[in-house]
């Protein structure tokens, strides 16, 4: 298997429990309760040496943390990517492509990382995939945008998931139609973009016989098409923040509304689509943005009755199931860039959000005291099906993803 390497490679603007009672059921996160209680919480004093300086903490190759400024534009390190190989950027949960949110950039906010990389001589493409879709569906969309054609999610997969096999609005000329083993690409995935990129590599190489039809993505055998996968703050083994579906749904909705507010886009004119056409959840011409989100994120929506969506794929147990199928390519190099934006409390040892963290992320990250549900910063207990045991090694996080899961996917659950 190819070795995963932790490197410091890209600088960009990020959008970004309690002690268990013996004999009692472990506490689980509840976003609604956390959100209601967050304003009243008081941060703990930092432990000696804990940094509160501006910037995201980044893990270096030697395992130490260093602080990187949130300033832009981004930069590629001296461990440079071959400029003859195009870079394809894959956004994370709630993300968007070029031209959405009235010009606000996913990769850079009000600055432009893509333009900066291009000015350095890199060929860069920026895909736009379903912000709350499954990694399988997102990978199929990335494939179509690179190679060209109309998206095909596979007949067997689509039937099992409960959505359409295609979406007429997702047909593309292909920004790199010559893509093959002689003309490979490098994939950079942020957050959920990390497992999406790894899923694409797996489908290219392994395929899926029950979904293969003609010359679609699922025929397999396409080794060497991806030279390298770089994951940034990747949910490579999921995040406990997605353990509970009914807590994840309102968080995802708030995440998107928060970005819309940051972009300064009024409700009826927000130029953003959740790309859920395969589920029959396309935005209507006369529908306000708020009404559209209410319809998509309703617990009765067909999307949330299936495991073919982000909340399942992002949970540690869902990610574990997907990772066991994906494996790792022998023909692609993998790199991970792990980040943290928390500090250690002086007395408790819990992890508290640093002032630089996005306020919405602070709600999920904060280590709430009993009797409130745990936050990521003090998570205890077990995952819903008891495959994973949460404790102090899970506490350091970037606001939504523990550092522990940002490296290579685990071969076995803890």
Q: What are the domain boundaries of the chain?
A: 1-278+307-414
Q: Which residue has the higher pLDDT, 15 or 126?
A: 126
In tens, the pLDDT along 271-319 reads: 788 899 999 998 888 888 888 999 999 988 889 999 999 999 999 999 9
- Residue 352 pairs with which residues in a beta bridge? 343
Distance set, CA 243 to CA 37, 322, 378, 385 (Å): 20, 15, 15, 10
- Taking the C-alpha atoms of residue 127 and residue 111, their distance in angstroms, rounded to an integer, is 18
Q: What is the pTM of this model?
A: 0.89
Looking at domain 1-278+307-414, what is its CATH homologous superfamily? Alpha/Beta hydrolase fold, catalytic domain (3.40.50.1820)
Q: Which residue has the higher pLDDT, 250 or 12?
A: 250
| Per-residue pLDDT at 14 | 35
Task: Look at residue 58 in the predicted model and tell me its pLDDT.
Answer: 55
Q: Give yes or no for residue 360 having a pLDDT over 80.
A: yes
- Average confidence score pLDDT of the chain: 84
pLDDT at residue 176 greater than cutoff 70: yes
Which pLDDT score is estimated for 110? 79
pLDDT band of 7, cuts 50, 70, 90: very low
What region, left, alpha or beta, does residue 158 occupy, with left being phi > 0 and alpha being psi -120 to 50 degrees?
alpha
> What's the mean pLDDT in 199-208?
97
Helix and strand numbers, DSSP H then E, in the chain: 10, 15
Give the CA distances from residue 255 to residues 15, 60, 123, 197, in Å, rounded to whole numbers and listed in that order: 10, 29, 30, 22
**Which is higher by pLDDT, 342 or 265?**
342
Tell me what pLDDT residue 32 has: 85
Cα–Cα distance for residue pair 386/274, rounded to 1 Å: 32
Residue 233's pLDDT band, with cuts at 50, 70 and 90, is very high
Q: Which is higher by pLDDT, 21 or 93?
A: 93
Kindly indicate the confidence band of residue 80, based on its pLDDT and cuts at 50, 70 and 90: low
| pLDDT confidence tier of residue 266, bands split at 50, 70 and 90 | low
Chain centroid, CA 173 distance in Å: 26
Q: Does 78 have pLDDT greater than 80?
A: no
- pLDDT for position 262: 74
pLDDT score at 211: 97
């Amino acid at each position: 298997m190819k070795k995963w390497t932790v490197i410091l490679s890209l600088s960009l603007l990020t959008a970004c429990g309690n002690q268990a009672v013996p004999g009692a059921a472990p506490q689980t996160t509840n976003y609604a309760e956390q959100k209601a209680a967050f304003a009243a919480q008081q941060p703990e004093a930092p432990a000696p040496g804990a940094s509160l300086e501006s910037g995201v903490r980044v893990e270096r190759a030697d395992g130490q943390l260093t602080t990187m400024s949130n300033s832009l534009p981004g930069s590629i390190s001296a461990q440079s990517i071959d400029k003859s190989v195009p870079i394809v950027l894959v956004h994370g949960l709630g993300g968007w492509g070029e031209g959405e949110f009235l010009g606000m950039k996913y990769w850079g906010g009000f600055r432009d990382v893509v333009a900066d990389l291009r000015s350095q001589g890199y060929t860069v493409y920026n895909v736009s995939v379903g912000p709350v879709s499954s990694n399988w569906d997102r990978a199929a969309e990335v494939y179509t945008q690179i190679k060209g054609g109309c998206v095909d999610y596979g007949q067997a997969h689509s039937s099992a998931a409960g959505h359409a096999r295609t979406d007429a609005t997702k047909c593309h000329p292909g920004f790199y139609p010559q893509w093959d083993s002689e003309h490979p690409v490098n994939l950079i995935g942020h957050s959920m973009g990390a497992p999406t990129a790894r899923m694409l590599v797996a489908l290219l190489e392994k395929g899926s016989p029950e979904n293969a039809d003609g010359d679609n993505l699922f025929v397999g055998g396409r080794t060497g098409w991806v030279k390298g996968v770089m994951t940034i703050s990747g949910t490579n083994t999921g995040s406990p923040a997605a353990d509970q579906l009914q807590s994840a749904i309102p968080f995802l909705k708030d995440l998107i509304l928060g970005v819309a507010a940051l972009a300064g886009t009024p409700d009826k004119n927000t130029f953003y689509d959740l790309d859920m056409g395969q589920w029959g959840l396309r935005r209507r011409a006369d529908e306000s943005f708020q009404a559209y989100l209410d319809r998509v994120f309703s617990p009765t929506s067909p999307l949330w009755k299936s495991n073919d969506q982000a909340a399942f794929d992002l949970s540690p147990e869902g990610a574990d199931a997907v990772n066991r199928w994906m494996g790792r390519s022998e023909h692609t190099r993998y790199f991970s860039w792990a980040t943290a934006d928390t500090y250690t409390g002086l007395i408790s040892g819990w992890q508290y959000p640093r002032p630089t963290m996005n306020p919405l992320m602070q709600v999920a990250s904060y280590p709430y005291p009993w009797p409130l549900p745990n936050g990521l910063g003090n998570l205890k207990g077990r995952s819903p099906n008891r495959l994973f045991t949460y404790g102090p090694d899970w506490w350091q996080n970037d606001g939504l993803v523990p550092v522990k899961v940002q490296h290579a996917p685990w071969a076995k659950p803890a």
